[in-house]
Amino acid sequence: MAFKILFKILKNIFLAFLVYYNINVLSSQVPNAADKIPIGVVFDQNTEEIQNAFKFAMLQHSNANANKSSSIDFQLYVDIINTADAFKLSRLICNQFARGVVAMLGAVAPDSFDTLHSYANTFQMPFVTPWFPEKVIPPSSGLTDYAVSMRPDYHRAVIATITHYGWKNVIYIYDSHDGLLRLQQLYQSLQPGNATFRISNVKRVSNASDVVEYLRAIEKLDRWSNKYVVLDSTTQLAKAALISHVRDVQLGRRNYHYFLSGLVMDDRWEKEITEFGAINITGFRLLDFSRKIVRDFFDAWRRESISAQAALTYDGVQVLVDAVVRLMRKKPDVLRATLRRASLNTSKSMDCNPKNKLIPFEHGEKISRMIKKTEVDGITGSIRFNELGHRKNFTLQVMELTVDGDIVKVATWYDNKGLIPVTPRTAPLTTPGSYDRNKTYIVTTIEEPPYIIREDPEDPEFDANEPYKGFCADLAKMISDKLEINYELKLVRDGKYGNENPKVLGGWDGIVGELVRKEADIAIAPLTVTLEREAVIDFSKPFLSFDLKPTKTIMNTTSTIFSFLHPLSMEIWLSIVCSLFAVSVVLFIVSRFSPYEWRVVSFSDSQISDHSDVANTKTTVVNEFSFWNSMWFSLGSFMQQGSDINPRSVSGRIVGCVWWFFTLIVISSYTANLASYLTLTRITETSQTYSKVATCPEDTLEKPNANPEFPQDSPVDEHGWLAFLMDRSAAPQDKPCEMIVTLQQTGFKDFAVGVPKGSELRDGVNMALQSLKEEGEIPKLVRKWFTKSECDVTDPEMKGSELTLSQVAGLFYVLVGGLSLALGVALIEFCKHGRAEAARANVPLRAALRAKARLASNAERKTQSQRGTQREHDRLGWNGGGFGGQYYSPANQIAQEETALHSSFTQV
């Protein structure tokens, strides 16, 4: 009995102990309210909005689980770093690991992110960040990348948006490595065969002034074209750049379109800053305000806006919390050992500097997989990840800034569907060059030979479908073939080109009036582009340019006879004649003053009488370079024939050398230019440029009698060129050539195709005309319709360019310098010889120079009376008969000169 009682007591004690043990074990397997999961948080300084978004997300989680008994709380270890030093940052990360954190979250600068990312992958620590400041390269070992970015990869959205707007050339400006990597992705996506646009200019900037300076440099090269700028930068730089652009007087506004690709449209854009509405701005926004979750967020956020980085941080907290909660509910004891080590702060915590083998975080791979399997709806859209941890199935809102500063949504880009425009409330977004190819367009023109000529119905070759021929008729057919459209060619009803006329509906008559009233779709005629017409209709690029030629085209027979004068200009010929005269004068002067040009000649004067023969020997001083002999020397040297006399003095030889050099260059230049001139005159038409003469069309905006300088009865320009388009009916009928048509050079006036204002055909016509010019079709039309015998004129530019005085001015400078040097040398010789004679005759230098100058002049006068007799004796002497004198050699001549001069000075 006692044994049974003792057995029951022991049995009850054992059952009680068993129940107590099971209760303790089961209760220890589920974390209670006191257990908190540690999370490491790292932020950079100056990220107050991001930190506020993080706090707001954690506060919302705490409030939502406040009344739940099985709620999971988090222990946050927040560090604010202000350094990019790798050593200090490593210590901070190791401290976080030592606290037993199960995951990390943070937003840091690019310099710090590299170190943090490396530690996360090395120790397999899950890391959630709003964005990657650099391109994340997966570990080379093939392991999983434990860092997850909340910002989607949206370079395809950039390409789709640019393609949607129809931009062909864009300017890419960025301010960080992030923008450079996005540019690299754009280049990789734009394959050579599939590229829809081209990135023509790329620039990295650091502030707004760099942006404006770069665009100002582009503006100098191309002023009037539309420019599309992709600006990948921060919000602060984008705002500053836009304000500086609008305020810069050298940059345009309406021809610029900015595409802000840096997710900056989520920030607040102040409507008070009017500069934002003065220029075209497009950008991306992450938040879609049509979603209820976004509206509820802003009701609790109680602020006007949130930046994209802060919104991504908020969603990053949601993703991390959701992954940890799902893991704890699926496996409640998975983090028990980690939480216990963290609470006890044991040495088994993760060590950054292990002595033996590196031990990674044991649950890092599980938590990372849970993060990548997260599927939640955040304020930035649907949050889904692929196997690599990149977001998928996300959306971006394409926004535009209006003139009033409002941000309106124009399209939505879907990751799986592409860009879908919003149904437009005003004008749709049309692609330039798009038009209806199934419509028959009305082409208006005017009868004006050779542009439009009416075919004769009685002609056997007359075609009722093509009743007109001419330059414009062929051009209309070519343009329609390029545009792949059908057209009907009609003549303007009133036969006018178009002037302002208040009595007509629309205020304009003629071709312009039909376009204004939209009675015609295109005008292909010799229609002149003017400022008044451009105000009411649109013009294409010019297909012809022309200059007005002189009305007097009488051929000058003198120019044909004296065509050998054409290689050199008239001013050069006059300068050569003046140079010939100047050289002769200088040679004559230096010969007069230089003693080396004088020589003594002795001759016998025989007088025969009845009683005896008396022979008298006479001596005289001779200078061969008289003025006419100097002219003969200069002319013979210029004609390259030489002369029978040559200078002997240094100064004379300097004159001769300079003149021979001048003659060599002039003759060589003349010969080469004459050959080029005679060759080019045989060419009647160039292969590249076409300049033809045709009759001016009757496109008259000013009456001939409106200018007092040109009376109505004589519309001839006194200066050779008309200052206005002359009405052909007022011009003389015997002068059909009044206009020079050209294709390459900008002329006095332009002919262009006209279309109504805002017509969708304008871009297509421009592209068609450009294609026809490049293919050479328009030059063929010019040769076909403007080449006539009565209108052919010789283009003066085809005869070779004549040499002008400015091109050979240096040659004349050399000549003038040489002549001046010769005069100086002659003066030195004169003074030197005079000084020697003054010393020999013991007279003053002034008296000797004066006597020498008198000798130079008197010798000529004294011999003038004897020249007839002397010439007779010279002729007799050279014939071997009666010359009884003696001709001195140059050596004897010098002695005779000195004797004669000495005797003359002695007489003085």
Q: How far apart are CA 270 and CA 238, in angstroms?
A: 13
What the block records as the tokens of 747 is 């002329």
Give the pLDDT score at 414.
92
Residue-wise pLDDT for 581-608, tens only, equals 888 888 888 887 777 777 767 766 655 5
Of all helices (H) and strands (E), which one includes residue 693? strand 691-694
Q: How far apart are CA 525 and CA 471, in angstroms?
A: 9
Burial group, residue 334, by CB count within 10 angstroms (0-12, 13-18, 19+):
middle
More confident residue, 821 or 724: 821
Give the pLDDT score at 615.
58
194 and 297, same domain (yes or no): yes
Of all helices (H) and strands (E), which one includes residue 700? none
Secondary structure (DSSP) of 132-201: -SSPPPPPTTSPPP-EEESS---HHHHHHHHHHHT-SEEEEEE-SHHHHHHHHHHHHHS-TTT-SSEEEE
Angle at 682 between CA 679 and CA 683, to 5 degrees: 100
Q: How far apart are CA 738 and CA 696, in angstroms?
A: 6
214 and 291, same domain (yes or no): yes
Secondary structure (DSSP) of 50-112: HHHHHHHHHHHHHHHTTT-TT--EEEEEEEEE----HHHHHHHHHHHHHTT-S-EEEE--HHH
Give the pLDDT score at 646.
80
Residue 469 in domain: no
Q: How far apart are CA 571 and CA 354, in angstroms?
A: 96
The least confident of 33-47, 514-528, 546-560, 641-655 is 546-560
Q: How far apart are CA 638 and CA 626, in angstroms?
A: 18
CB contact at 8 A, 235 and 306: no
160 and 298, same domain (yes or no): yes
285 and 406, same domain (yes or no): yes
Q: What residues are paired with 469 via a beta bridge?
A: 453
Residue 781 in domain: no
Residue 661 in domain: yes
Residue 738 in domain: no
Give the pLDDT score at 359.
75
Place of tokens 């001759």: 603
What confidence category does residue 644 fall into, taking pLDDT thresholds of 50, 70 and 90? confident
pLDDT at 286 over 80: yes
The rounded mean pLDDT for the chain is 75
What confidence category does residue 540 fall into, taking pLDDT thresholds of 50, 70 and 90? very high
Of all helices (H) and strands (E), which one includes residue 134? none
137 and 162, same domain (yes or no): no
In the β-sheet with 376-378, what is the strand arrangement from edge to edge?
A: 376-378, 381-385, 391-392
Residue 323 in domain: yes
Give the pLDDT score at 511.
93
More confident residue, 246 or 347: 246
Give the pLDDT score at 354.
63
What confidence category does residue 285 fall into, taking pLDDT thresholds of 50, 70 and 90? very high
Secondary structure (DSSP) of 848-887: HHHHHHHHHHHHHHHHHTTHHHHHHHHHHHHTTSS--SBP
Sign of CA dihedral 403, 405, 406, 407: positive
What the block records as the tokens of 458 is 């009685």
What confidence category does residue 360 fall into, taking pLDDT thresholds of 50, 70 and 90? confident
Q: What residues are paired with 43 via a beta bridge?
A: 80, 107
- N residues, the chain: 908
Domain boundary among 421, 440, 475: 421
CB contact at 8 A, 146 and 105: no
Place of tokens 């029978």: 644
In order of 56, 311, 395, 398, the CA distances from 392 in angstroms are: 26, 17, 9, 18
Residue-wise pLDDT for 306-334, tens only, equals 999 999 999 999 999 888 888 888 877 76
HSE, CB side, 13 Å, CA atoms: give it for residue 785.
Answer: 22
819 and 670, same domain (yes or no): yes
Residue 412 in domain: yes
Helices (H) and strands (E) in the chain, counts: 25, 29
Give the pLDDT score at 531.
87
Domain boundary among 337, 362, 383: 383
pLDDT at 135 over 60: no
41 and 160, same domain (yes or no): no
In order of 508, 513, 739, 825, the CA distances from 503 in angstroms are: 8, 12, 33, 86
Give the pLDDT score at 472.
92
Q: How far apart are CA 823 and CA 654, in angstroms?
A: 9
Range 714-719 average pLDDT? 34
pLDDT at 756 over 60: yes
Range 346-375 average pLDDT? 74
Range 126-140 average pLDDT? 68
Q: How far apart are CA 901 and CA 838, in angstroms?
A: 11
Residue-wise pLDDT for 778-797, tens only, equals 888 888 887 653 444 444 44
12 and 106, same domain (yes or no): no
Give the pLDDT score at 547.
63
The least confident of 174-178, 406-410, 746-750, 877-881 is 877-881
689: CB partners within 8 A, 6+ apart = 742, 743, 744, 745
Q: Where are the beta strands (DSSP E) in 291-380?
A: 376-378
Q: How far apart are CA 438 and CA 161, in angstroms?
A: 28
pLDDT at 411 over 80: yes
Amino acid at 517: R
Give the pLDDT score at 147.
85
Range 343-362 average pLDDT? 64
Residue 735 in domain: no
Give the pLDDT score at 865.
45
More confident residue, 120 or 463: 120
More confident residue, 345 or 619: 619
* CATH code of the domain covering residue 96: 3.40.50.2300
323 and 217, same domain (yes or no): no
Q: At 232, is the secondary structure helix, strand, or coil?
A: strand
Q: How far apart are CA 523 and CA 472, in angstroms?
A: 10
More confident residue, 619 or 729: 619
Query: Cα Rg for the chain, rounded, in angstroms?
Result: 51
Q: How far apart are CA 36 and CA 73, in angstroms?
A: 5
Q: At 234, is the secondary structure helix, strand, or coil?
A: coil
More confident residue, 367 or 623: 367
416 and 279, same domain (yes or no): yes
pLDDT at 434 over 50: yes
More confident residue, 134 or 534: 534
Give the pLDDT score at 729.
33
pLDDT at 678 over 80: no
Q: What residues are paired with 742 via a beta bridge?
A: 545, 691
pLDDT at 499 over 60: yes
Residue-wise pLDDT for 269-282, tens only, equals 888 888 888 889 99
Q: What residues are paired with 383 via a beta bridge?
A: 376
Range 393-410 average pLDDT? 90
Residue 747 in domain: no
Tally the domains of the chain: 4
114 and 208, same domain (yes or no): no
Range 184-188 average pLDDT? 86
Domain that residue 203 falls in: 155-262+268-303+394-421
Range 665-676 average pLDDT? 83
Domain boundary among 360, 383, 406: 383
Q: What residues are paired with 442 via a beta bridge?
A: 488
299 and 355, same domain (yes or no): no
pLDDT at 303 over 70: yes
